[in-house]
Amino acid sequence: MNSVRWSVVVPESTDVALRTYLAGTGMKKGDISNFVDEAVQLHLADLVTEKVKIRNKQFDQNEILSSIDEALAAH
């Protein structure tokens, strides 16, 4: 996997809270990158999910579920 380097600025209180949490779970300083990566991925998934929910409000929920069932049955 290719990686890129980010420069991120956060409040000192966020830094202390994260480092305290990581230390309490046995994680090391280098695990900050993994923590941030996971947090960003989860937040992006939440944003996309919310966007889809808003887009799909115009459709009948039962029709959506029926379409999903049909697609799953076809495979």
Q: What is the pLDDT of residues 26-66, one digit of tens each?
A: 988 779 999 999 999 999 999 999 999 999 899 999 998 99
CA dihedral (25, 31, 34, 36) positive or negative: positive
Distance CA 22, CA 30 (A): 10
Q: What is the structure's pLDDT at 34?
A: 92
Where exactly are the structural domains of the chain? 31-75
Q: What is the pLDDT of residue 35?
A: 94
Task: Tell me what pLDDT residue 28 has.
Answer: 81
Which positions ≥6 away from 29 have C-beta within 8 Å? Answer: 19, 22
How much is the pTM? 0.72
pLDDT reported for residue 44: 98
Across the range 19-29, mean pLDDT stands at 89
